[in-house]
């Protein structure tokens, strides 16, 4: 939970520093999804509550409308939790993990595209996806090492 709190604060600080210049990746949500994927416990209700409270804090801090991003965060975590349980263990490849991490960036960040419209919103969305690539690569490398150590 400490790492997720640090990611939320980091995302908040980066939003303050780069506010209006670029659309930042959802580091907090990516952290929840990654922790959800590598968590071995059966009870994963913590992820939904963490997404709820993190999204609510984000809404109160930036949007001002409680529930705006909160719903997106909870829906993403619930969908990923469902998908991870449906996928057989031998089918959980790096591509699947990449797609699940990518979905954590697509759903919440489509909101500005829908609000701002196609021309302005789409450039923010595409730049956000490009800025998220280094975080994806880091998560995939860590997951790969984690998966290899479990096989040994």
2-18 and 45-58 are packed helices; what angle lies between their axes, rounded to 10 degrees? 30
- Lowest mean pLDDT: which of 40-44, 82-86, 106-110, 135-139? 106-110
Residue 78 CA, chain-centre distance (Å), reads 12
68-86 and 27-38 are packed helices; what angle lies between their axes, rounded to 10 degrees? 20
DSSP code of residue 61? I
pLDDT value at residue 53: 94
* Over residues 33-49, mean pLDDT: 89
List the domain boundaries for the chain: 2-18+28-151
Residue 77 has pLDDT above 80, yes or no: yes
- Lowest mean pLDDT: which of 37-41, 49-53, 80-84? 37-41
* 78-129 residue pLDDT tens: 999 999 999 998 888 888 988 888 888 887 767 656 665 655 556 767 777 8
Angle at 58 between CA 105 and CA 141, to 5 degrees: 35
Return the higher-pLDDT residue of 117 and 132: 132
């Amino acid at each position: 939970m400490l790492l997720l709190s640090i990611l939320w604060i980091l995302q908040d600080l980066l939003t303050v520093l780069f506010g209006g210049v670029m659309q930042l990746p959802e580091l907090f949500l990516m952290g929840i999804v990654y922790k959800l994927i590598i968590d071995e416990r059966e009870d994963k209700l913590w992820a939904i509550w963490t997404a709820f409270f993190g999204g609510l804090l984000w809404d109160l801090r930036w949007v001002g409308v409680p529930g705006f991003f909160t719903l997106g965060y909870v829906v993403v975590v619930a969908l990923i939790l469902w998908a991870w349980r449906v996928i057989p263990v031998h089918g959980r490849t790096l591509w699947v993990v990449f797609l699940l991490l990518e979905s954590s960036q697509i759903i919440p960040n489509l909101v500005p595209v829908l609000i701002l419209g196609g021309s302005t919103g789409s450039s923010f969305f595409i730049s956000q996806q490009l800025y998220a690539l280094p975080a994806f690569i880091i998560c995939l490398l860590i997951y790969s090492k984690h998966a290899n150590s479990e096989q040994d």
